Structures are given as structure tokens and as C-alpha cells.
Chains A and B, each alone.
Chain A
């Protein structure tokens, strides 16, 4: 029952996102037509190209029909989005769904690895720090974690490009894979993909795990001080079981919401990250679409990023009650 309710809520959320997106994107001044007109004028000079020529060019680029009323545009958009049709990109003259299908796996690839690594390293380090509370390892890791946590990921990215790519020439500076390689399941291509992914992933993980570690450390230290842990020790519960079942579970649990925030943060952050590394993922397309005032592509990438975050949150939410028995009986909870 809870699952159905939660999925329905996610659906409502998604429709709201579509609505807000539509309203926002439509409200941006200087539509696609203006932009293309400016481009043509800049390229050829306004005197050489006649106004009617520009207008026909605009129409052939934009498949948008601005003559219909706004609510009709919205209704048509909503129904086609729910059918998986995201329109045609003004700028690339390709279906938006195609562009996204091409870009999304790369972004998801980068971000999934980054998020998993960030939390794995953070949780393990935080647990060790809590276990060794007060030792030199604890205090030095805390300082390092705090410092790394205060570095914006894009600064880490620029710094890594500067040191690793340009000064040391060890890893490629930009792109998804080396140019001239045929995408396919061959060793050379896969190696190239990973070599190109290392720096973006490292920039996110290196600046992200510290925050997770500090939170985990704090939670674990607090749990260790609780009475029930002492009771468990006195009852003779094995130390390993106390560490994982008692302390571990209760320390990781409050970080579920952190996890959701991290998902949203990283997906949003992919815009700047992909711009720095010229990594053709959703973020880079979104930025290009905004610069080109490419409405369909803008809305499409935006929706897919939102959808990805929405699905992550839904999964986190549905598994939440599995770990925390306190909130498992959602239906029977009394409202105050």
C-alpha cells in the first residue's frame, strides 16, 4: 500500500516538474527564433540576408508552433512527454530523445560511480575514525576531510586538469573517449572511456567523501555512547555484531537523506563538471541548449535529469523502511 502511495506521489512530482519546467522555459525572454536570427545576422551581416529569408530559416529550424495558445502547447507537451516524445532539438535538428539517449548513459555512468565511491569511502573512513576516536589518525583524517569538503568540485576539477593533464600529461583533459576510436566493446575503447572518466570522477569523489565521513563519524560516535550499546556489551553480544548491526545501521540510517541530497547535488553539478571536461553528457547539452535557447532540448535534458533524481529518491525511500523499523509501519502512524 505504501509502495503504491509513494509511486503515485512520485508521479505527481514528475508532472509538477514538467509543469514548472514548461512555465520556466517558456518565460525565458528571447526565444529560439531571436537566437537564430542573431546568429544569422552575425554570420552574414544584416544587410546581406533579407528578413524574410531569416524568417523562413527560423521556421525550418524550429518546429515550434507559437501560434497556438499556451495551454494547448502545455497539454500537447505533457501528453507527448508521457509518451516519451520530447520533440526535436532546434539546434541539432535531431529528436531530443535521441540526443538524450546518447548523452544520458555517460552522465549516469560518471555519477553512479562517483556517488557509490563517495559514500563507500566516506562511510568506511567515518566508521574507522569513530572507532579510533581521539587518535592521531582520527584528528588528521578529520582535518583532511573538512578541508576536502570545503573545496568546490569544479575547483578540484580545474586543479586536476592543470596538474594531471597539462603539467604531467598523464590523463586526457576533455571528452568522453579518445577521438578516432570506434565505440564498441573492445579493450582500447573501454580503457579510453575509463581514462577520460577518471578526472571527473576524482573531482567529485575527492571533494565529496569528506562530508560523508564526518557525518558518519559523528553519528557513529554518538551511537557508541548510547546506553543500549553498553547493555549489548554487558549481555555479551559479539563485538562485530555490535559494530555492524547496532552502531553501523543506526549511524548509516540518518545519512539516507544525505544520500538523496547528494544525488540531486551531483546531477546538478554535472553541468559545471561536464563543461570543464567538455564531457558530452546531459549537463553539457543542457548548458548548450540554454545558450542556444533550444527549448525542446532544454526541457528534455532538464526532465531527464529530474527523472533520474526522482527515481533515485524513490528507491531510497522505498528501501528506507527496510532498514529503519521505527518508520516501517507508515500506514498505522498516528497524526498529531
Chain B
């Protein structure tokens, strides 16, 4: 932080303006665009814990599936309680399947679903929300009507109908299906944020200077809503978890892979709620679901500060201090 070699810093004559070498610029770019956000984010305990939890699930979905045998009938005696037989550490279910195996092997399809759904819904919402809010007029009316329709159809019942119709088995397709109208809510709130942003003086300045709409959206509007979009990306990841597990729980999604929702359904209807002996059967998938979703929520909350320019400046090594003007 003590280094004074920034072209962003006015006080440093030698590095400012044309004096900066190419290497300096790259180094600065790396610092501003990559390292600083990581530093800012990592500064928050929520990001740390959230990242560790998400990393744990990523490991479980990659290395875990190699280390742990796939679930199979008769891996242990039926309904073994947890922490008793170390060949099945988390116990077994009613057909002797290891709960650990089932939980671990449900992870990869889950992660695929989350990634597909979150990317799909966030990208769509950002495009529709910003364009609609900024353009106004007919564009806005058409897009808002579309958004309203998508938002008004209650998501889960619609997804249930679609799941019955297409019987999807590919995790990525299921992920997109679950967010089929989840983008609408986000698009709507992005639109209402853009409505109050578009009259800000710097946006108006860009407009008067004749900048094309696309430039204004990308340079002036989207950076402002980025924190919100990022948080909602993670929130929609959480919603994919909620939705898919719920549908699997209802028995409306088929496919051959394991899922925590199927485990939950089996345990709930298999009588696990009536006996303390087999409660692990019910609680392990519950903990798996809450764990991953908690990881995402923590991560979202921790990265909230990321786009606050004052906090960023304080953490950037190439910016002298947090009051230095940031010009690009």
C-alpha cells in the first residue's frame, strides 16, 4: 500500500500519464481488476467461510466421487445408525445403501444444475432489466409485459408442468428449467434500479455526449448494479437448490442420478421421522442441502462490499489512499 507508482495517483508525477510503461499498466490492471476484488472479498469472514463451504462441495463433487463408492444396495446392514460402522460412516437407509455414498454422488449433478440455472437466469435478467429500465417507452412496455407474464405464472407449478411434459434428465437442462421464469423477478428489480440510475448526472452526461445506448448500459449502468447482480447470481444458485430438491422430493423429476431431495423423500415416507434410531437418514440430506445453500448465502453477503469504490481503493496497492481520485 505504501508504493507510489500509480497512474491513478495524481501526486506521482513519474508514473502518471504517458510515463507509465506497458508492464506497469498490466500490473495495475491485474491489481485493480483481479487482486483487489479478491482481497476485498477475502477481507470479510463471510466470504471466507462461504468460499470454504463452496470449495468443500466442489471437492465433494470432484474428488469425493472418486474416493467414495457409488451408492449400492447392501453396502451395510439395513438402517445402520450413523457413526457406528465405519464402512458406512453416516449409516445406511432402508435398502442398505450407504448414506455417505448417496450424499456424495448427488453432488456433481447438483453443481451442474446450479451453474446452468444461475448463469441462465442472471444473464437474461440483466439484459432484459437494464434495457427495459433504460430505454423506456415501447421497448419498456413490451419487455415489462413479458416480464410480468413470466413473473405472474407461479414458478414452481409451471416447472412441475414442464417437468411432467419434458421429463428432463440432464442436470443442466433441469437447472435452466427451474429458472425458466426466475429471471423475471430479478429483471424487474434491476429495471426499477435502472429507473433511478438513468437520471444521474454522469449518465446524462454520457447521453449528451452522444454515447450509444449499449456503451451507456455497459459503462455507466451495469457497474452500478453489478453488486446487486452478483448477489442475485448467488441467490439464484440458492433457488436452484431449493427448487430442484423440492421437485425431486415431490417425485416429479426422474433420472438415474442420486439427489438429496430423493433421499429426503425416501426418509420422510420411509418412516425416518417416527424413530430416533434412523433419524440420520433424514438429517444427512437436510444438512447437505442447508450446507451448500448457506455457503452460497454467506458468499453473496460477503461480496456485497466488493463494488464499493471506497473500500476497493483502500485495498488496492496501486492506489495511494482511499481519497485518491480514481480516473480511468
Report if A309-B152 is in contact (Cβ < 8 Å); known contacts: A149-B297, A218-B304, A264-B185.
yes
The 28 listed contacts between A and B (C-beta, < 8 Å) are A16-B149, A17-B152, A20-B153, A24-B161, A24-B162, A28-B164, A151-B290, A154-B246, A155-B286, A162-B279, A218-B304, A257-B185, A257-B189, A264-B151, A264-B154, A264-B185, A268-B158, A271-B250, A276-B268, A283-B157, A287-B160, A301-B157, A306-B152, A310-B152, A326-B195, A326-B196, A327-B192, A336-B134
CB pair B195–A327 under 8 Å, yes or no, is yes
How far is B293's CA from A326's CA once the two chains are assembled, in angstroms? 36
With known contacts A24-B165, A158-B286, A326-B196, A13–B152 Cβ distance under 8 A: yes
Residues of B within 8 A of A (CB): 46, 134-141, 144-145, 148-149, 151-158, 160-162, 164-165, 185, 188-189, 192-193, 195-196, 198, 207, 213, 238, 241-242, 245-246, 249-250, 252, 264, 268, 273-274, 276, 279, 282, 286, 289-290, 293-294, 296-298, 301, 304
Q: In the docked arrangement, what's the CA distance between A302 and B155, Å?
A: 11
CB of B273 within 8 A of CB of A162, answer yes
Query: Does the CB pair B250–A287 fall under 8 Å?
Result: yes
Say whether B154 contacts A254, CB under 8 Å.
no
Cα-based distance from A5 to B80 in the complex (angstroms): 63
Give chain B residues whose Cβ lies under 8 Å from the Cβ of A162. 273, 279, 282
Question: Using an 8 Å CB-CB cutoff, how does the interface string of A269-283 with B read, 1 for contact, 0 for none?
Answer: 101100110000001
- Are the CB atoms of B156 and A268 closer together than 8 Å? yes
CA distance A283 to B156 in the complex (A): 10
| B-contact bits for A139-167, CB 8 A (1 contact / 0 none) | 00010001101111111001101100011
User: Would you call A260 and B185 a contact (CB within 8 A)?
Assistant: yes
Bound together, the chains give a CA A265 to CA B185 distance in angstroms of: 10
Query: Footprint of B on A, CB under 8 Å?
Result: 9-10, 12-14, 16-17, 20-21, 24-25, 27-29, 142, 146-147, 149-155, 158-159, 161-162, 166-167, 214, 218, 254, 256-258, 260-261, 264-265, 267-269, 271-272, 275-276, 283, 286-287, 290, 298, 301-302, 305-306, 309-310, 313, 326-327, 333-336
CA distance A150 to B154 in the complex (A): 21
Residues of B close to A276: CB separation below 8 A: 268
Please name all residues of chain A whose beta carbon is closer than 8 Å to the beta carbon of B135 when the two chains form the complex: 335-336
Q: Chain B interface secondary structure, helix, strand, loop or mixed?
A: helix
**A158 with B264: CB separation less than 8 A:** yes
Please, which residue of chain A has its CB at the minimum distance from the CB of B216?
A: A336
A17–B151 Cα distance when bound, in Å, is 10
Q: Given A24-B165, A27-B165, A150-B296, verify A335-B156 contact (CB < 8 Å).
A: no
**Residues of chain A within 8 A of B155, CB atoms compared:** 264-265, 268
Chain B residue nearest in CB terms to A335: B137
A70 to chain B, nearest CB (A): 16
Nearest chain A CB to B50 CB, angstrom units: 9
**Which one of A28, A309, A336 contacts B161 once the chains associate, using CB atoms below 8 Å?**
A28
A20, A147, A336: the one within 8 Å of B198 (CB): A336
State how many angstroms separate the Cβ of A266 from the closest Cβ of chain B: 9
A301 to B160 alpha-carbon distance, docked (Å):
13
> For chain A, what secondary structure do more than half of its interface residues adopt (helix, strand, loop), or is it mixed?
helix
With A and B bound together, what is the CA distance between A302 and B159 in angstroms?
12
Q: Which residues of B contact A10 (CB under 8 A)?
A: 148
Residue ID in chain B nearest A167 by CB atoms: B276
Q: Is the CB of B136 within 8 A of A336?
A: yes
Residues in A neighbouring B144, C-beta threshold 8 A? 9
- Interface residue from B46, B138, B160, B198 paired with A271 (Cβ < 8 Å): B160
- List the A side residues contacting B241 at CB < 8 Å: 152
Contact: A158 with B192, CB < 8 Å? no
Residue with the greatest number of chain A CB neighbours at <10 A, chosen from B149, B189, B286: B149
A29–B149 Cα gap in the complex (Å)?
A: 25
In the complex with contacts A257-B188, A333-B136, A152-B289 CB distance below 8 A: yes
Those 9 A-B pairs whose CB atoms lie nearest each other, nearest first: A335-B137, A268-B156, A335-B136, A261-B185, A257-B189, A150-B294, A268-B154, A150-B293, A150-B297
Cα A9 to Cα B252 in complex, Å, equals 33
Q: Which of A12, A149, A258, A298 neighbours the largest number of chain B CB atoms within 10 Å of its CB? A: A149
Report the Cα distance A21→B152, complex, angstroms. Answer: 12
A146 cross-chain contacts in B, Cβ below 8 A: 46, 294, 297-298, 301
Contact A272 B297, beta carbon cutoff 8 Å: no
Q: A158-B268, A257-B192 are in contact. Are A152 and B293 (CB under 8 A)?
A: yes
Within the complex, which residue of B151, B250, B279 is in contact with A272, where a contact is CB–CB below 8 Å? B250
CB distance from A158 to the nearest CB of B (A): 6
Besides the known contacts A158-B282, A336-B137, 14 further A-B residue pairs in the complex with CB atoms under 8 A apart: A16-B149, A20-B153, A24-B158, A28-B165, A152-B246, A159-B286, A162-B282, A254-B192, A257-B185, A261-B185, A271-B250, A272-B250, A326-B195, A336-B207
Beyond A9-B148, A257-B192, is A158–B273 a contact (Cβ under 8 Å)? Answer: yes
Q: How far is the CA of A218 from the CA of B268 in the complex (A)?
A: 38
